[in-house]
Structure 1
């Protein structure tokens, strides 16, 4: 089965009743965890962006605590998983401010992580890529926000 375009879906949804739309959303939420997470964000957390950002930061803190530190292989694997999930949460929000703040926080945690990331080229590269991405996102924000986020970035070394 081939999926139809978003425009076609939008036109079809406009012809549905309120009850049918609710049923479609509930059915959609049963199929994938990501669909349910997105609906949760849209219904409960989109109005409280600061709380959402704080919950993602708490998630990062918890995940960094339980990383297996036996070898850099396990550390890299876990850090990639954390970053992948953070990017997914950023996609739900679609706000550049949220993305910049979460990427800066991710870099702060990674910088302070023990054992040091300076002994792993892959972790250093990941850190530098996320730092550059945060700078790029910040450059597209309003001047006042740019100043605030650049203040946060000053604490982070640009490259090791």
Structure 2
């Protein structure tokens, strides 16, 4: 199923082949890549193409996040909320805005809890999830291939009740 979501400032749309270069550019930045467990690193154009091909196909679970005409990031649309944004897009509220749209879409069509998580050192991601009403569940260890070390991930979940309270 493919769909597009729109917010006041963003369009969340399916990936297309033209997205490969900006995906590769964003994910070759260690400041971005370090927060994505098991991401191939260094991240090159072939990795970007493979990601976009997967996300443009029937197994797609992510949307490209576009501000004006500029691609700024990626967000998942499944029950596992995940996202990453180009470093130039940090601090502008895009992650929270995009995540609100995806969570609203999810709870408009399902009652199932959503899950997510953030690396303990990633306070930006922690703030996004907290604003949406996600609550901590457990911690797990995952490899950050970009920096070559294990990192602790705080797993989170969001119930419909918590979403309604924070919406």
What's the TM-score, normalizing by structure 2?
A: 0.29
Q: Which has the higher contact order (CA 8 A, sep 6+)?
A: 2
What's the TM-score, normalizing by structure 1?
A: 0.30
Give the strand-richer structure, 1 or 2.
2
Give the helix-richer structure, 1 or 2.
1
Q: Find the structure with the greater CA-based Rg.
A: 1
